[in-house]
Amino acid sequence: MSQTSKYIRPLVAVDCLIFGFENQTLKVLLIKRKLQPYQNEWSLMGGFLKDKESADEAASRVLKELTGLEGIFMEQIATFSKFDRDPAERTISIVYSSLIDISKFEAQLNHAYEAHWFKVDEIPALIFDHEEMVAVGRDYLKKKAALQPILFELLGEKFTIPQIQQLYEEVFESSFDKRNFSRKLLGSKLLHKLNEKDKSGSKKGAFYYELDKQTNHYNFNTLLTLAYSQL
Amino acid sequence: MSQTSKYIRPLVAVDCLIFGFENQTLKVLLIKRKLQPYQNEWSLMGGFLKDKESADEAASRVLKELTGLEGIFMEQIATFSKFDRDPAERTISIVYSSLIDISKFEAQLNHAYEAHWFKVDEIPALIFDHEEMVAVGRDYLKKKAALQPILFELLGEKFTIPQIQQLYEEVFESSFDKRNFSRKLLGSKLLHKLNEKDKSGSKKGAFYYELDKQTNHYNFNTLLTLAYSQL
DNA sequence: TTTTTTAATTGTCACAACAACACTTACATT
DNA sequence: AATGTAAGTGTTGTTGTGACAATTAAAAAA
């Protein structure tokens, strides 16, 4: 009888796409599914919405249940809804994404679910449309990073200029002249030089910098135009 | 028994947020609900997902059913999922948005559903969380317009520079120096000057321009930096 | 100790883009 | 012929740009 009988009532999933940066490489966190179907296949961290739960809340809960990671601010990036995207049952999925400093959350990461970091260019086959989700997420990351200085969240408290450049090059799948890059980066007034060097990358060592929290007059324009041409 | 019994199976709606530009003003298309509950209240054009239908498809269908508008490319901008956003029943909604030239679609617009264009600053109370959707949509529009020359889609085939400036000022809720604005706009190589004037706005009349479709080396950088400071 | 090696750091230059600013022009109306 | 109105245009001092190569710090090798 109901007016709404012709309308679907699908399961609603959230999937979490977590980017990290380690050893000069952009990485994505994936887990190996414990459940049938598709047991032992790789996927994003996903789960279904419960009663009285918003998608934002579900995303945080699911991420914690599957990885142990807590207190990570994720942003909604897209919703996937093709009718056959999950062959078993009609399911739509809302994708959330975040950037984290891998080393900072290493301790929290629960390996019970076989969560592993994969280099973005070496991602294994994923279930459903999760590969498309990663692609959409990388694209989103570019646009976001072009407009805001968010990439620093992927680095630790302190970092070197060559490290930041490497990260930008990974994200934008491109390369930049190091003289111009550092000129723009320092011109942004975002960074504060420390009296300490990172010797891991070279004999000379590179000075560490930290985000200058005082500064409220930073110039992101300079980095914007650099990134823009790569969108 | 089912493993999935604790998971919700909500209705899934799509809501369409259509921006237009007319009489130097940015507008939004709204309809008056014909159905209970909330009969006669204003809302975005919304409807539910049907079997085998993706959200993209549903959005196009719903827009056509409620307004007669067809062939409009919409983009998914966000999904709303608070558990009590629809007091009657658990419903999540995927919002789609587009920009159209009002005059171009005027004929198609079916007024059976009392679709009306409202100035963005004079929007009436809307049902559910639709006001929040409009706010999110305006924000999305800014970001999108800052990165790409999409605002021209809101204008007709031909338009004047003062018209474009007015549109940019509406979208970015800001004002720009007309000398600098026109320098940047023309410097973009996006426009081609016509030998014809629009006399409606002034005695002198303003020259019409059209989008130069040949040009493949346009410079959007110039407009980017203008818009960026307003994000 | 000296030399070698490696990557970080720094500098220049010609050119383009920037913000801030005010006057002139075209046209219709009076 | 004078007036009113909005469109259109130009300058300047300053800053940002891309393209380019030499120097420096420090460890490792000779």
DSSP one-letter string for B4-66: TTTB---EEEEEEEEEEEETTEEEEEEEE--SSSSTT-EE-EEEE-BTT--HHHHHHHHHHHH
Tokens read off for A110: 């629960």
- Give the nearest nucleotide to A221, CA to C1': D16
Average pLDDT value over all residues in chain B: 93
Band (A4; pLDDT cuts 50, 70, 90): low
> Could B94 and A79 be called an inter-chain contact, meaning their C-beta atoms sit closer than 8 Å?
yes
Q: What is residue A36's predicted lDDT score, i.e. its pLDDT?
A: 80
- Banded model confidence at residue A230, pLDDT cuts 50, 70, 90: confident
Decide if pLDDT at B225 tops 90: no
Task: Show which of A96, A119, A147 is a domain's final residue.
Answer: A147
CA distances to A20, A22, A77, A154, A156 from A103, rounded to whole Å, are: 9, 8, 25, 10, 8
Quick one: average pLDDT of A198-219? 89
pLDDT for A1 beyond 60 = no
Dump pLDDT digits (tens) for B146-171: 999 999 999 999 999 999 999 999 99
Assess whether pLDDT exceeds 50 at residue B1: no
In 3-state terms, what secondary structure has residue A11? strand
Average pLDDT over residues A149-168: 95
pLDDT at residue B2 greater than cutoff 50: no
* Best to test chain B binding among A2, A4, A6, A12 (most B CBs inside 10 Å): A12
Which has more pLDDT, B5 or A119? A119
Would you call the peptide bond into B149 cis, given omega within 30 degrees of 0 as the criterion? no
pLDDT tens digits for A89-115? 999 999 999 999 999 999 999 887 789
pLDDT at A184: 95
Per the model's pLDDT, the better-predicted residue between B110 and B64 turns out to be: B64
How many Å apart are CA A129 and CA A132, to the nearest integer?
5
Nucleotide nearest A176, from its CA to each C1': D18
Q: Would you state the pLDDT for residue B34?
A: 83
CATH code of A188's domain = 1.10.10.10
Average pLDDT over residues B179-205: 95
Residues A30 and A104 in one domain: yes
Q: Which residues of B20-54 are buried (b: 16+ CB within 10 A; e: fewer)?
A: bbeeebbbbbbbebeeeeeeebbbbbbbbbeeebb
CA dist., res. B141 & res. B227, Å (int): 12
- pLDDT for B4 equals 52
One domain for residues A57 and A130: yes
**Over the stretch A17-54, which tens digit does the pLDDT of each residue have?**
999 999 889 999 999 988 788 899 999 999 999 999 99
Catalytic site residues of B? 114
For chain A, percent of residues with pLDDT exceeding 70: 98
The reply to whether A115 and A198 lie within a common domain is: no
Element (H, E) at A64: helix A55-67
Question: What distance in Å separates the CA atoms of residue A19 and residue A73, rounded to the nearest whole number?
Answer: 12
Asked if B81's CB is within 8 angstroms of A54's CB, the reply is yes
- Strands, E, within chain B: which ranges? 11-22, 25-32, 42-43, 45-48, 75-80, 91-101, 115-119, 158-160, 191-198, 206-211
Indicate whether this model's pTM tops 0.85: yes
Q: Are residues A89 and A195 in the same domain?
A: no
Share of chain B above pLDDT 70, in %: 98
CB contact under 8 A, A54 and B225: no
| Residue A152 covered by a domain | no
Q: What pLDDT is attached to residue A2?
A: 44
CB A54 within 8 A of CB A101: no
pLDDT tier, A213 (very low <50, low <70, confident <90, very high otherwise)? confident
B215 and B126 part of one domain: no
Distance CA B76, CA B15 (A): 10
- CATH code of the domain covering residue B71: 3.90.79.10
Total domains present in chain B: 2
Q: Residue B5: is its pLDDT beyond 80? A: no
| Closest in A10, A51, A225 to B221, CB measured | A225
Report pLDDT digits (tens) over B101-141: 999 999 999 887 789 999 999 999 999 999 999 999 999 99
- Rounding to the nearest 10 degrees, give the CA dihedral for residues A98, A101, A105, A107: 150
* Domain end marker among A147, A167, A191: A147
The set of strand C positions with any atom below 7 Å of a protein CB reads 5-12, 17-22, 25-29
Is the confidence at residue A185, as pLDDT, over 50? yes
- What is the percent of chain B with per-residue pLDDT over 90, rounded to a whole number? 82
For residues B150, B156, B162, B168, the Cα torsion angle rounded to the nearest 10 degrees is -30
Q: Which domain holds residue A165?
A: 157-228
Q: How many CA atoms lie within 13 A of A182 on its CB side?
A: 10
Among A147, A180, A207, which residue terminates a domain? A147
Over range A128-156, report the average pLDDT: 95
Residues B112 and B224 occupy one common structural domain: no
B70 and B129 fall within a common domain: yes
